Structure 1
């Protein structure tokens, strides 16, 4: 076994499964031939490497009956790139074999839920034949490599980020033939040719970075101790949540836009376990700078360090963040430099990070346009008058347009000719899809939630299904307090593994048990600081009672342009708790700021309408591209004028 640091301890069971799998073939190859609805526990672990999780619909569990087994498939899509033929194939497969929806992930891929075991081979082979892949989208290896989704053709940095996201993804792709043998009967689909420098780098030994004469030169028999996550971005663009990855690279160019090299960060990761303090969320550290010609050797050196010294005895302690936390940055850097064969250069100074969501219309820089579409919780679906799935299909099919999925599970359609803009707008609006980001709810726009129940096997409570009602309640509370214009980053997960990155949010909900969440506060809008746990267990029924004093304190004591997360971090949790304990809800507290025009707040009087009228208002609003409040005001003005 390659692990040197834990050689005297007993490896975890998964290590043995990887060793016996014949490079990810078994027991998948054998069990796929069986007339069963699910794989064995051993099979489930190896299936992950092929991009699939075995799940069951917990809403359908009945005592004494077999579980409603189904499978989630996840695409490997470096930089979020989805060619038109792949989207159309995924859309079709989700209708024929899935649950009729697609899910954009927070790592810029698509997920199809609800696939049956007997259909897995058909679905995967169709994906591969349409320029897609699921290989390595899950499992103990490098996951989907992220990059900013903005298709700026006149910005060399953005094009370089895409290029190197692709190349690093290729470098770290499993080399075993198991994937094609199992799912395509050995037929390797035609795909883009790997760059020669990537092929050469994979076989270059350096100082022990590869296993010579191995099927897997970089990974070896046991692959990685746990999942490994990478991203490539440009200075200032933190659409990728740069501090949350095992390895992050920042493109550094000269004044002419020519690539010089990359800043390197390492050791980020968010997964943890409630009330086990040895597990924790961690932000990445600055490691150094590497010249462009050495970048693949550096990536391999980081991977080899984690591969050989990461903890293979305790999977809760197996991520790179724990190795760096245990060793310290200096020892880690020294070990990386041993594999790398030279010293790293100092980390280059960077501008401040800023989060961008790229919603709405933008120019690409080459005369064409791109359009960012907000996808609530990443769920691409058709529901009533809201027909996002059909709208995307129609636009992509008609104009053969590529898309880039964003790290905040939205989508960007690009390469749009200006003369197509009006028609594309009409298609989306006629399908009930809002394309003006100013009309997207201010909380929904910056919120994320993981799928959680009913399909995720790790979920302890709701997330995607409940967050719309949570945001509505928070929105109502803000209006009640005269803070209707305030917005902040809200993220929710159904368990502590952190798939929607709640530990970087200004207000994070982390599922603990049914209807109960741990609350994290103090992150910032640009995701450059970890939040901290504020309340261990909050029943979601008590949300308003919990949140009102904190919002009142923020409203009355914040600095100019300070956001909720920044305020919580500045004043500290002791001050928040003191104020909350002494807070007395009364009309004076609630109304204190509602009559003032400062700080961007406004007077708001809310009235209720029945659901039928609300749905009609919503439809008119989308069709006429007008806020609902404007439509109501015009109707009232007309009513009183004619009295």
Structure 2
């Protein structure tokens, strides 16, 4: 079969996947190589399927190069956590691993997953084994497969939460790679497989053309930004029961500067399915993408381009044909907002859940706010709680009867209650510099300070309580979903950002480029008169994104193909 494939027509990674022997590559040899802190080039691609990214300290890159040293290599480990729920025991294990083998912090991602940063090569295997000890794993957290399945986060907000969470787990298990490579390499287990044809019944030898993302939302809240997902399920409640799901397809945030053939796109609602049809629908759409997705150009390899290249009607017909039944007509639904709703909320079962703000998703201690210590104490003392990671880099201490104990611990460490502006509450930042190799500019390390300067302007116009969605990324790949923000900032170079306006609070509209390559001073100077206008002329209940479109600061981006950097 190898001789029948014209590899010259495909992206280089396609052959790397094909030759990897179902994701083994030469990882074992790379991990045992004492000469370098890195792994082989081809293994840097294969390791992603195992939940690992090779990185290096970009802050010290020039200095090390002058000293004729290789970069200070280390690794990001991403932990798969469908639906975002961890037990106190799992939280404590991640907390300890962060201190022992990583940089002492936990990163809560926009896909409801954990990330550890700064793990050196010799500690990779031990760390992954520690993760697996508490029944977590890292397989398929990255790579050309279905990634972590997201679901509505707060159990106190909907009686459907438990069903939706269970479904997220079922989808994740169904679409997880079946190769025994992960267990062999990281857990020292020898697993027998009866025939190679059975190794990957869904993915095959070359897996998907690109990453694939799935999220489940429960109206009226769109906290997973369901239209940003390759495949989305919108729960439909009828007479207090889960009737089924509207199905969305073709969302995706990634794009590339200077390449108009790449763009963010919102998913289309293509029909309705019953709960017992969800796995079949998910597998069918994954298989269509596997067959028709672009394997020549990885920049155009996501499902959104497959749909745009072949047409939405073709796609819907292909889905129905392969399903063997037709998706029903979509049911009505209504989103009122995305993001998280902070504070305590009591569920119908009488238990309490507290949604905490975690700036940039970074769990750490500072002199003024000992977040990491506080959460460790909560996990140790409140053993009935669940630790739920949200899709907005925040954390919910959920389903507990010990509200007073949680409150006392958090107050002791200055974590909660907290006074936050509406802007800061709705901020998201990707990691960016100094670890991400794709970043052109700062994001996580810089956005909190920039928000503080914008808050000074908002205070001047009595807008501090106004909830405005702001998101910053260090590059246009869209990991922080910046194209859905009312204010989006995307790094062009160190200290310079493109400014995008006009998303909305519901996560149902892309924003539009307003100004290019702005410095901090220029960002503030540009936003100030718009805020002044908003304070004076906004309609009752009108969001900032809706206002800038009504006042024609930007035109509405109707579809992804219209988007321009």
Q: What's the counterpart of residue 411 of structure 1?
A: 395
The correspondence for 1:128, drawn from 123, 127, 132, is 132
Question: Counterparts of 1:198-597 in structure 2 under 5 Å?
Answer: 213-257=197-241, 259-355=242-338, 357-400=340-383, 401-417=385-401, 420-436=402-418, 439-573=419-553
Deviation at 1:256, TM superposition (A): 4.6
Deviation at 1:472, TM superposition (A): 1.0
Cα distance in structure 2, aligned partners of 1:389 and 1:559: 41
Deviation at 1:532, TM superposition (A): 1.1
Cα distance in structure 1, aligned partners of 2:538 and 2:386: 43
Between 1:168-177 and 1:285-294, the stretch displaced more is 285-294
User: 2:156 is paired with a residue of what secondary structure?
Assistant: coil
Q: Deviations over 1:470-503 (max 9, x none)?
A: 1111111122344444331110001101111110
The answer to whether the 8 A contact 1:89-1:127 is kept is yes
Cα distance in structure 1, aligned partners of 2:218 and 2:465: 31
Q: What's the counterpart of residue 180 of structure 2?
A: 177
Q: What's the counterpart of residue 48 of structure 2?
A: 48
User: 2:32 is paired with a residue of what secondary structure?
Assistant: coil
Deviation at 1:363, TM superposition (A): 0.9
TM-score by length of 1: 0.82
Moved over 6 A (4+): 6-9
User: 1:152 is paired with a residue of what secondary structure?
Assistant: helix
Residues 7, 556 of structure 1: alpha-carbon distance in 2 compared, 3 angstrom cutoff: farther
TM-score by length of 2: 0.93
User: 2:202 is paired with a residue of what secondary structure?
Assistant: coil
The answer to whether the 8 A contact 1:152-1:159 is kept is no
User: 1:573 is paired with a residue of what secondary structure?
Assistant: coil
The answer to whether the 8 A contact 1:9-1:313 is kept is no
The answer to whether the 8 A contact 2:25-2:42 is kept is no
The answer to whether the 8 A contact 1:298-1:340 is kept is yes
Cα distance in structure 1, aligned partners of 2:40 and 2:88: 36
Question: Counterparts of 1:128-147 in structure 2 under 5 Å?
Answer: 128-147=132-151
Residues 560, 17 of structure 1: alpha-carbon distance in 2 compared, 3 angstrom cutoff: same
Cα distance in structure 2, aligned partners of 1:541 and 1:351: 39
Residues 414, 574 of structure 1: alpha-carbon distance in 2 compared, 3 angstrom cutoff: closer
Deviation at 1:569, TM superposition (A): 1.8
Question: Unaligned 5+ residue runs, structure 2?
Answer: 557-565
Cα distance in structure 2, aligned partners of 1:354 and 1:486: 14
The structure with the larger Rg is: 1
Deviation at 1:415, TM superposition (A): 2.6
The answer to whether the 8 A contact 1:231-1:248 is kept is yes
Cα distance in structure 2, aligned partners of 1:7 and 1:333: 30
Deviation at 1:7, TM superposition (A): 8.0
The answer to whether the 8 A contact 1:160-1:251 is kept is no
Residues 66, 212 of structure 1: alpha-carbon distance in 2 compared, 3 angstrom cutoff: closer
The answer to whether the 8 A contact 1:373-1:435 is kept is no
Deviation at 1:521, TM superposition (A): 0.4
The answer to whether the 8 A contact 2:209-2:290 is kept is yes
Deviation at 1:441, TM superposition (A): 2.9
Cα distance in structure 1, aligned partners of 2:277 and 2:351: 35
Cα distance in structure 2, aligned partners of 1:90 and 1:253: 35
Question: Unaligned 5+ residue runs, structure 1?
Answer: 189-210, 577-643
Cα distance in structure 2, aligned partners of 1:56 and 1:507: 30
The answer to whether the 8 A contact 1:495-1:511 is kept is yes
Cα distance in structure 2, aligned partners of 1:17 and 1:575: 43
Cα distance in structure 2, aligned partners of 1:252 and 1:427: 38
Residues 458, 559 of structure 1: alpha-carbon distance in 2 compared, 3 angstrom cutoff: same
Residues 212, 71 of structure 1: alpha-carbon distance in 2 compared, 3 angstrom cutoff: closer
Residues 484, 85 of structure 1: alpha-carbon distance in 2 compared, 3 angstrom cutoff: closer
User: 2:37 is paired with a residue of what secondary structure?
Assistant: coil
Q: Deviations over 1:122-151 (max 9, x none)?
A: 000110111211110000000000001111
The answer to whether the 8 A contact 1:374-1:435 is kept is no
